[in-house]
Each structure stands twice: as C-alpha cells, then as structure tokens.
Amino acid sequence: MHVNQPLTLLGGISPAEFMTTYWQRKPLLVRQAIPEFQALLSRPELFDLAAQNEVESRLVMGTNGGQRDWHMQRGPFKRRAIPKLTERDWTLLVQGVDLHDDRMAALMQQFRFIPDARLDDVMISFATEGGGVGPHFDSYDVFLLQAHGQRRWRIGRQKDLSLVPDMPLKILANFTPEQDWVLNPGDMLYLPPRYAHEGIAQGECMTYSVGFRAPQTGDLARELLVRLSEGAEDTAGCDVYKDATQPAVAKPAEVPQGLAEFAKLALQKSLKDPKALQRALGEYLTEPKANVWFEIGETPNQLRSVYLDRRSKMMYDAHHIFLNGESWRAAGQDAALMRQLANQRCLSAEDLAKASDEAMGLLMEWCDDGWLHSGASIPVN
C-alpha cells in the first residue's frame, strides 16, 4: 500500500495523513468511503453464522436510547431464538466475521495501512428500528462502516465516563453528544478509543465495526512472561534456589531476603535475551484466537502460487518469521520472501522461483496445516 496516496476510503486523505491527524486522536466521518457499497453478507447468512457454536454472538435488547431495560444474551442462536424482524429495538452482534468469510477478510485488507499487530476483527451488527447497544465507549480504535440501511450516530468527547450500575452492558450514565449524523451505506465513521458514542438504527440496518486492539501492560507482561518462562525451563532445569547459609529464624512467616533476590534474578534472567523477548512477542501476536482451527489442507505436488488462509496471522521482526503462534529464525533471501508473503499475504510463481528448498519445504508444510493454500489469492475489493 502506498501510504502517501489519497484514499477514497479515508475521504481523500492519505493513510499517512490519517495516522498523524486522526488515529488515536479524533473522529473522522467519511461520506461514501466505499461508494455504492452493498452488504457483503445477507441477513440469512449472518443469522446462519450466529447459529454456529464457534462464532461469538450476542443479542441486545434495549429501549431506544434510554437507560432502562437493557438485556443481553450470548449465542449461539437458533433462528427461532432471534426476535421477529417486525419487533423493534433489538440488535444481533456477530464477532470475528473475518475469520468465517473471505469477503469480510478481504474488506479488512483495506485497513492494512495500520500494522497487523493492532488489527483485531470485524463485528457485524444487525438491528431493527431503534436497535443499538446504548451510549458507551470502547477501549478500541474502530471504523464503523454502514453496510445496509441507516444508522444515526451521536458522539461526544466527554471526560465523564461513569457507567450506569448493574447493567449487562457498559452504558454511560451521563452521555453528552456533541455531533450527530445519519450514516448511509458506504459511509464510515472512525472513532478513537474512549470516545463516547451511540448508534441507533433507523429502520433495518447493518453496520460493520473494524476493531483494533491495543495490548494492556498487565496482560502483555503476563503473556510474555509465561512464554519466556517456558523457554527458560527447557534450558535451565537445574536452577534451583539454594540457601545453605540460611540461619535459623525466630520469625518463620517473614519472606527471606535471599528468596526475594532470587526472584528478581529469575525475572532478569528471562528478560536477558532480547531475541527471546521478540520471539515471545511475535508468537503471542500471531496466536490464533481460541475459536479458530484450520482444516488440514491437501499437499500439492508442486506449488505455483500461494496465499495465506484468511485465518492465518503472519508477522515478522528483524530475526524471525511468525505464523499462527509459531516462530522461525530467518535470514537472507528466504527471510525476504517470507516477509513478502506476510505483507502481501500471497506469492506469485515468479516469487516462488526464488525460494530455497528449505523455504519450499516449509511452505508445503504450511499447506498441509491449512495455513496456506496453493493457487491465486482471494480477491481484494
């Protein structure tokens, strides 16, 4: 992607300008971000997804914009568990649609001027007249693309983010909207994290939320430390605390100073190797979500061109290639080729001609695992 090229998706500004002016800073409304846009999934297709066990879905019912009577149920939902279309004020939310549908995965490609490490998923919300999830804020950056029908968005910069107590959803107690728009199909609204907003369906409506996760210090530290300690166990099985000099104690409940020092050294040791930390980070960032699995692929006799499965997460750093929670050390021409695969998500026959036997073997293995497919890539609209 050319980051300095103006994009219709961003209302005629370039990704570079968007990132410096709006990203994490302020909202951007783009009329006709995708001109003549039509919903990629029909209503029955969405309801079918909501009926599946491995798809995360929720049903929200609430009074239009009010603070009373919010109800939330978690899926899967059989068709008869979904309210009638003639009933108003309900919303069906289906999460991670990009994992289940190639068209949605292709739509997400348009947002790859933002690092893949930040990309989370696409949620589809379907609502009848008056439906919505109430005034709230998210901890995510989100692009809200109107896919079908109309939704009225009201947004505000408010600092008071206190919530109505005892609700099944996060509902702002004192929502103070400052801007108000009705979005039509193809219109898109970008919101930075913690920006108050409420979207209310005007008639039957579908909205796509392209969401971007940001790691939180505590979660990230825990994930990395678990991975680093697993690596340390392999090599340093006999590093056991020794206290031959421990004197007899009159206060047995007191934690020995030596043990506190040992704990500090143990942590320092696991952080000592910067490559181990980078590896743990890449493996964590590319770990498939819990509800993702791959269908074992067919081993092709020969690879002409390849493309990554829509569920595959592939990234790299200066020393490693990461794919679906695993890592490989890579250097030279093979590393360049694998980085190209990670960035483009496909390789042509011409690209593959440069692969070493070892790289070719790895690509074949990934095809067996269903992480990679032989053939031309999925189309990007």
Q: How far is CA 67 from the centre of its chain?
A: 30
- Among the candidate windows 107-115, 135-143, 324-332, 346-354, which touches Co ion by CB under 5 A? 135-143
For position 177 contacting Co ion by CB under 5 A, the verdict is: no
For ligand SIN, give the closer residue by CB, 57 or 125: 125
Between CA 319 and CA 148 the distance in angstroms is 44
Our CB check for ligand SIN shows the closer of 110 and 125 to be 125
Closer CB to ligand SIN, residue 132 or residue 149? 132
How far, CA to CA in Å, does 67 sit from each of 89, 154, 178, 335?
Answer: 13, 16, 19, 55
CB of 171 vs Co ion, minimal distance in Å: 11
**Does the footprint of ligand SIN cover residue 132 (CB under 6 A)?**
yes
Residue 199 interacts with ligand SIN (CB under 6 A): yes or no: yes
Say how far apart CA 319 and CA 61 lie, in whole Å: 49
Q: Which is nearer to ligand SIN, 94 or 105 (CB)?
A: 94
Name the residue with the smallest CB distance to Co ion.
138
Q: How far is CA 207 from CA 127, 159, 233, 297, in A?
A: 9, 26, 47, 33
User: Closest approach of Cβ 115 to ligand SIN, in Å?
Assistant: 21
Q: Which of these, 137, 194, 107, lies nearest to 381 by C-alpha position?
A: 107
Half-sphere exposure of 215 (CA within 13 A, CB side): 14
DSSP label of 261: H
Alpha-carbon span 227 to 72, nearest angstrom: 35
Number of neighbours of residue 363 by Cβ within 10 angstroms? 21
Between 138 and 223, CB nearer to Co ion: 138
Q: Decide if residue 204 touches ligand SIN (CB under 6 A).
A: no
Task: Tell me which residues in 206-245 interact with ligand SIN (CB under 6 A).
Answer: 207, 209
Residue with Cβ nearer Co ion (170 or 339): 170
List 133, 172, 210, 303, residue binding ligand SIN (CB under 6 A): 133
Where does this chain bind Co ion (CB under 5 A)?
A: 138
Where does this chain bind ligand SIN (CB under 6 A)?
A: 91, 125, 132-133, 138, 142, 197, 199, 207, 209
